[in-house]
Structure 1
Amino acid sequence: MSSDFETYEQDFATLTAEITSKIGRIPKLAGEEKTQLVLNVDKKLEEVRELLEQMDLEVREMPAQSRGMYNSRLKSYKQEMDKLEKDFRAHLLDNTERLERSSRRLEAGYQIAVETEQVGQEILANLHSDREKIQRSRDRLRETDANLGKSSRILTGMLRRVIQNRILIFVLGAVILLTIVLAVYFNFRGQ
């Protein structure tokens, strides 16, 4: 675990040395070259921020007994990062750079807004599609319900006919049995 932290420390040292060197060169440059260097330093500072976040996560996962020592090292790295950012801001006295950075942020914000709008449109299209599916399902359920009602009426009619047929068979059987009994009775009586 601590070996990962030490690897991060080495990366931190390399990055901060590179940033310090580049910050020192900013006032000596002008135009596009200066803009590119400022952008590069900004990117490197972001890398350092991400590195510090990784180190912070690493420290949180360490056993409690060794956490204190690494926490104090991490704190000093964060202070060093703050100093680097202040130095960087101090070297950006030219309003043009500030305006360019603001412009980039606005462009990024606009891009995010456009992407958000596209996502919103996709969600609305999906919701519309889902609504149509639900409507079709509801229509199918209504049809099924109507068909079940018809089937129930048909079955009730069939059951009624079966009961009528059984009663008719029972009555016919009784008449035939009565006829046989009377025939036998009159036959014996005649003899």
Structure 2
Amino acid sequence: MDNSPTALFENYDEDFKQLLASLKGKLEGDVKQLKGEQRKAALKKVSDELDEAEEIVAQMEVELPSMPTSIRQTYHQRLQTSKQALDKVKKVLRDVRNEGQRAELLSGPGFPNADDPYTDDPDSYSARTRLLAGTERIADGTDRLKNAQRIAMETEDVGADILRNLRGQREQIEHTRDTLTQADSSIDRAAGTLKKMIFKMYQQKFLSAAIIAVLVILIILVLWSKLRG
């Protein structure tokens, strides 16, 4: 089994596509046709599958930094496409939930004319207006929450990149320190060898001077003995 980052990404991507197709099918078909507890159960299943899809996308993002630089950009674009598709499904789910909540409220006992858009009852119109305004506020709050979550995730990614860079710099510093330590040891050995060479040089000079002195003395003695004879 190929466990390379590219192969794992492809496997995650295939699982994500199948799960995304299942989510779209439920949201466009099953959920809209169901009511009551069956609808709630179907929405719960969709929410669970959506969480699973988010986990798959997160795993795809984890594998991305380990890929070769030459292909990383291509897979990064595919990851962004998957994220955009996931965001669209989230929006559809949010709209479906809002429609369901609106339908339940408007069909309640407090809205006798809720199904009649042309009613002249001011109480019904005011209640419907407040309901729509409240629904819009909920949707706006959800969007702001999603944006805050996205910013937090982007900030986390930036922090992770900084930590990886710092880790790489630390490894470089440690490597440089080890190199300097080895260089210091080599310099110490070279200095010791040079001292020995200098000592031997002076020793040889002393021996040479002594030999020359002996030879000079012998020459003088020979000349002196010949002059006397």
2:171 to 132, 135, 141: 132
C-alpha deviation, 1:162, in angstroms: 0.3
1:138 partner amino acid: R
Q: After TM superposition, list the pairs within 5 Å mapping 1:69-80 onto structure 2.
A: none
Percent sequence identity over matched residues?
34
Query: TM-score if structure 1 supplies the norm length?
Result: 0.50
C-alpha deviation, 1:95, in angstroms: 1.3
Count of paired positions: 101
Partner of 2:221: 182
2:190 to 141, 144, 151: 151
C-alpha deviation, 1:153, in angstroms: 0.2
Partner of 2:158: 119
Distance in 2 (alpha carbons) for counterparts of 1:101 and 1:182 = 120
C-alpha deviation, 1:118, in angstroms: 0.7
Distance in 2 (alpha carbons) for counterparts of 1:165 and 1:139 = 39
Q: After TM superposition, list the pairs within 5 Å mapping 1:22-61 onto structure 2.
A: none
RCO higher in structure (CA 8 A, sep ≥6): 1
Unpaired segments ≥5 residues, structure 2: 1-94, 96-129
Distance in 1 (alpha carbons) for counterparts of 2:221 and 2:189 = 48
Distance in 2 (alpha carbons) for counterparts of 1:104 and 1:181 = 114
Distance in 2 (alpha carbons) for counterparts of 1:147 and 1:114 = 50
C-alpha deviation, 1:101, in angstroms: 1.2
Partner of 1:141: 180
Query: TM-score if structure 2 supplies the norm length?
Result: 0.42
Displaced runs of 4+ in structure 1, greater than 3 A?
none
C-alpha deviation, 1:161, in angstroms: 0.3
Partner of 1:110: 149
Distance in 2 (alpha carbons) for counterparts of 1:149 and 1:102 = 70
Distance in 1 (alpha carbons) for counterparts of 2:189 and 2:178 = 17
Root mean square deviation, CA, Å = 1.9
Unpaired segments ≥5 residues, structure 1: 1-31, 33-90
